[in-house]
Every structure is written in structure tokens, then in C-alpha cells.
């Protein structure tokens, strides 16, 4: 009887050990999708009927102008406008790849080159505002009230006061580099903050760091109430900021929605839309952009 009990106990012990082993997680390989199931990496923007691809500068989006204007175009032509808001340089690179139908940008020399190289059909004036040199109220470089942008930049560099640069090859960044060049200065050092960011983000950093920066007036006015930055320098002719519209050349990129692009250009330059641009103002009553199309100028001689 004792021998049977011992054998029974041994059997129970073995079963218990086997049970414990079965409770432990067994490593398993993560299933990998079959090669045919992996989605292909997109190489171009997928176009859809009834959609317009607009590559534009951040200032037209950050200022709220596009949200104000585009519903009229979309309703009139029963289309959807897909907006990519980046720096003007990036917007033109998108156009060079045929991944936009039309551009709305503000880097005049680069715009002219874009057309000269055959990527765009024609460049038309749309509107303008100006650039501003902003900074903290304390103004450690002492530039408030100056009328020469390059001289103001030189004083900022001499004081090694923080300067927030977009650093993104946008129209604003190109203008900033032109001003530094005019001042015969190549900015460098801990005081010069090259961010690679849009205008809105750059203004936020300038606020946080107590830094100077260059901004288009439209974006500044749309955000000024929360910035704590002051307009210190304005009015220099070098700070003029024109915007242009360019339809991407369908002869170079057959996938471009040329008909929609041309309708957009015609609509944007029309006196009716130009009047809406003139009417778009900050809560203070100050205009953010000034209309400047050929049709507008002809109607207001």
C-alpha cells in the first residue's frame, strides 16, 4: 500500500511540473506581412478629381487669410483646395516635383527663377505687406525707431542679443539673409538661433527667449496680442514683401490640374477677390495684406 502511495505521489509531482512548464510563455516570432501586403512608399501626391493642390507660404495660413478666402473659391467651382503651407522655398520645391497645381509665395527672385526654368507658366502680383523687426520691450540692442534694417541688424549682432531666425529657406528667411548680407555680417554664435521652423513657431521662440526676429506684418498682427513682442523697426524699402501666384507648368508635369489652377489664378486676381483681401483686417482695424493684382490696380487708378 505504501509503495502504491509513493508511485501515485511521484506521478502527481511529474504532472504538476509539466503543468508549470506549460504555463510559461513560449517565445513566438512576430508575424511579418507578406511582401505583397506591405503598402508601397508614396512617391508623389495622389490627385483626385475636383481637388486643387495649393503649395503656399506659412504666412497666408498663419494669418488666417486662406481660411477666410478659400471657401468662396471652393463653393464657386465645387472643388476642394488641399493646402500645403510651408516656407516659400519648400513650396517651390514641391512645385518643381509636380506635386502642386499652383503656388502662392513671397520670394520674388526665386519666383522669377522658377518661371524662367520652365516650372511655372507666369508669375502675377497678388498682394503685399511688409516685414517688421520685432523684439522685446527692453530692446537690449537699442534699435527702436531705426529706419535702416541693415543697421539695426548690425546693432543686434554687435550686442550679441538673441535673434530667432526661421532658418527654413522661406521668403522671410531669404529676406533676413539679404539684410544680413547688406550689413556685411554672417551671423553665428550662441545668440543666433536658427530654428528651421515656420513663422508662428519662430515668433513663439522669440517670445520665450526674449529675442529679436523678422516677421511679415500679417502673421505678427494675427498673433500680437499673445506675443509680448514690439515692432521696433519698420518702413525701410528693403522690408517690402510682395506675394505672387504661379500656376505649375502642365507641359512639364502632365498630371497638374491645369484647368483648376488657371481658374484659381483668375479668381485670386479678380477685383472681387482683391476687395476681400483688402477687407481682411486685424481686430484692431489694421489691414494684414494690401491687394496688388493688375486688375485691382487698373480699377483703382
Q: Could you tell me the end-to-end alpha-carbon distance of the chain, in angstroms, rounded to an integer?
A: 121
Return all residues near 87 (Cβ < 8 A) that are at least 6 apart: 57, 58, 166, 168, 169, 170, 171, 172, 173, 198
Domain 51-129+242-299 indexed as CATH 3.30.70.260: no
With cut-offs at 50, 70 and 90, classify the pLDDT of residue 47: low
293-299 mean pLDDT = 95
Q: How far apart are CA 296 and CA 278, in angstroms?
A: 10
Better-scored residue on pLDDT, 32 or 82: 82
Q: Output the pLDDT for position 28.
A: 33
Contact yes or no for 198/173 (Cβ under 8 A) = no
Q: Using CA atoms, how far apart are residues 252 and 120, in angstroms rounded to an integer?
A: 9
pLDDT in tens, 51-104: 999 999 988 998 899 999 999 999 999 999 999 999 899 999 999 999 999 999
What whole-number distance in Å separates Cα of residue 146 and Cα of residue 149?
7
pLDDT over 70 at 118, yes or no: yes
- Where do the structural domains in the chain lie, given as residue ranges? 51-129+242-299, 130-239
Q: Is the sign of the CA dihedral 133, 138, 139, 144 positive or negative?
A: positive
- Averaged pLDDT, 217-236: 90
Report CA-CA distances (Å) from 42 to 38, 45, 193: 12, 8, 34
Cα–Cα distance, 119 to 182 (Å, whole number): 30
- The per-residue pLDDT for 171 is 87
108-111-113-117 Cα dihedral, nearest 10 degrees: -170
Average pLDDT over residues 101-114: 95
pTM of the entire predicted model: 0.76
| pLDDT > 50? residue 14 | no
Residue 152's pLDDT is 98
| 121 has a pLDDT exceeding 60 | yes
Query: In the CATH hierarchy, which fold is given to the domain comprising 130-239?
Result: D-Maltodextrin-Binding Protein; domain 2 (3.40.190)
Nearest to 174 by CA among 162, 165, 184, 183: 165
**Mean pLDDT over residues 142-157, rounded?**
97
Q: Distance of alpha carbon 1 from its chain centroid, rounded?
A: 88
Q: What is the mean pLDDT of the chain?
A: 85
Question: Buried (b) or exposed (e) across 184-215, using 16+ Cβ within 10 A?
Answer: ebebeeebbbebebbbbbbbbbbbeebbbbbb
Q: Is 130-239 in the same CATH topology as 51-129+242-299?
A: yes
User: Given this model, what pLDDT does residue 141 score?
Assistant: 97
| Model pLDDT for residues 164-222, shown as the tens digit of each residue | 999 988 889 999 999 999 999 999 999 999 999 888 899 999 999 999 999 999 889 88
Amino acid at each position: 500500500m505504501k509503495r502504491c502511495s509513493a508511485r501515485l505521489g511521484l506521478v502527481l509531482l511529474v504532472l504538476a511540473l509539466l503543468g508549470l512548464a506549460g504555463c510559461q510563455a513560449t517565445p513566438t516570432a512576430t508575424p511579418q506581412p507578406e511582401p505583397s501586403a506591405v503598402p508601397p512608399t508614396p512617391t508623389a501626391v495622389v490627385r483626385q478629381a475636383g481637388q486643387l493642390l495649393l503649395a503656399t507660404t506659412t504666412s497666408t495660413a498663419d494669418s488666417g487669410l486662406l481660411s477666410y478666402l478659400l471657401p468662396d473659391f471652393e463653393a464657386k467651382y465645387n472643388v476642394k483646395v488641399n493646402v500645403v503651407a510651408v516656407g516659400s522655398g519648400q513650396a517651390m520645391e514641391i512645385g518643381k516635383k509636380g506635386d502642386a497645381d499652383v503656388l502662392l509665395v513671397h520670394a520674388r527672385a526665386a519666383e522669377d527663377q522658377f518661371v524662367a526654368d520652365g516650372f511655372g507658366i507666369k508669375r502675377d502680383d497678388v498682394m503685399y505687406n511688409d516685414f517688421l523687426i520685432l523684439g522685446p520691450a527692453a530692446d537690449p540692442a537699442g534699435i527702436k525707431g531705426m529706419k535702416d534694417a541693415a543697421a539695426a541688424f548690425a546693432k543686434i549682432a554687435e550686442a550679441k542679443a538673441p535673434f530667432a531666425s526661421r532658418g527654413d529657406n522661406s521668403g522671410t528667411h531669404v529676406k533676413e539673409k539679404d539684410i544680413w548680407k547688406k550689413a556685411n555680417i554672417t551671423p553665428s554664435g550662441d545668440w543666433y538661433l536658427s530654428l528651421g521652423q515656420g513663422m508662428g513657431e519662430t515668433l513663439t521662440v522669440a517670445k520665450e527667449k526674449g529675442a529679436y526676429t523678422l516677421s511679415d506684418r500679417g502673421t505678427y498682427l494675427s498673433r500680437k496680442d499673445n506675443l509680448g513682442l514690439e515692432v521696433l523697426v519698420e518702413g525701410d524699402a528693403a522690408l517690402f514683401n510682395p506675394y505672387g501666384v504661379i500656376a505649375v507648368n502642365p507641359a512639364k508635369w502632365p498630371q497638374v490640374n491645369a484647368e483648376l489652377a488657371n481658374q484659381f489664378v483668375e479668381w485670386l486676381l479678380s477685383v472681387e477677390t482683391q476687395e476681400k483681401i483688402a477687407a481682411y483686417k486685424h481686430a484692431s482695424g489694421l489691414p494684414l495684406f494690401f491687394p496688388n493684382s493688375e486688375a485691382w490696380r487698373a480699377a483703382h487708378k
